[in-house]
Amino acid sequence: MIHPPSLQKGDSIGIVAPAGRIDYAIIQQASQRIEQMGYKIKLGSFLNRHHYNFSSTDENRKNDLQQMMDDKEVKAILCTRGGYGAIRYVDELDFIAIKENPKWLIGFSDITVLHAAFQKHGLCSIHGPMCKSFLNYTETGADIDILFSFLRGESPQYLINPYPTNRLGTAKGILTGGNLSLLHALRGTAYDFDPRGKILFIEDISEYLYHLDKMMLNLKLGGVLEKLSGLVVGQFTDMKDNETPFGETIEDIIFKSVKEYNYPVAFNFPAGHVETNYPLIFGEEMELQVKENQVSLISV
């Protein structure tokens, strides 16, 4: 996998809106914070051209992203938000220029589709905070600080608390994954991932418990879960139940789908649709250690 070069103060970071619409004031505030940190900002041309639920039309969103991918001055691309929309044009993106001049893509949620495309083309990318996270930077900026440490070339080293449903063990593998609903949507496409030698990270928001069960069973019945090296479960936020309860918790559903395998499983990793969203480098080889008193996820 191609690991993009580190950023230096004064380098340019491009901001694009590849999916859902966002208040332009949030983009402006994030831009100001990044400039205060010593970096230059390049804004996409269509950040404030709302088209129904999208930030702009499919063509405009694709062109903005493509321009940043091709621009030699841009060293990293920060997505404004997720929502929905990247899957509508992902197969039209051209990766020739960015493979010659690699740069970081940063985002999560719907940006899972773009992470999948980057990995298909052999490029590492960062599953991490987007523009809205910069609004609280001065108060709870741990995820932003970690993000910029990654951009400056530091390697991931996470130590987190144990969780009752964890499965102990040690594994090495390439970290991949993202939003479970998007991974499910990409199943059977050219952007589906090969699970062999992978540590899978998953998170989601506002899903019904029965649909979580359905998605996990899809991964199981499709032979994905049995081939993994490890599983990291992020935050499943604002999950919903039917009027008649499903009868199983998030942890029940996920652990049941992998109980017959013997790789380590770490629950409650602090990443996903939460205020402090720790960044992860997809495409990076990592070691996952799940012990009784601690979980570590460290770059190797």
Dihedral of CA 254/191/121/226: which sign?
positive
The type of residue at 57 is T
CA 106 to chain centre: 8
What amino acid positions are annotated as catalytic residues?
A: 109, 203, 273
Q: Find, among 197, 134, 191, 169, the residue nearest to 288 by Cα.
A: 169
Tokens of 33: 């914070």
Residues 187 and 218: beta-carbon distance below 8 Å: yes
Q: How many CB atoms lie within 10 A of CB 77?
A: 27
Residue 7, CA distances (Å) to 154, 195, 203, 225 in order: 11, 31, 28, 36
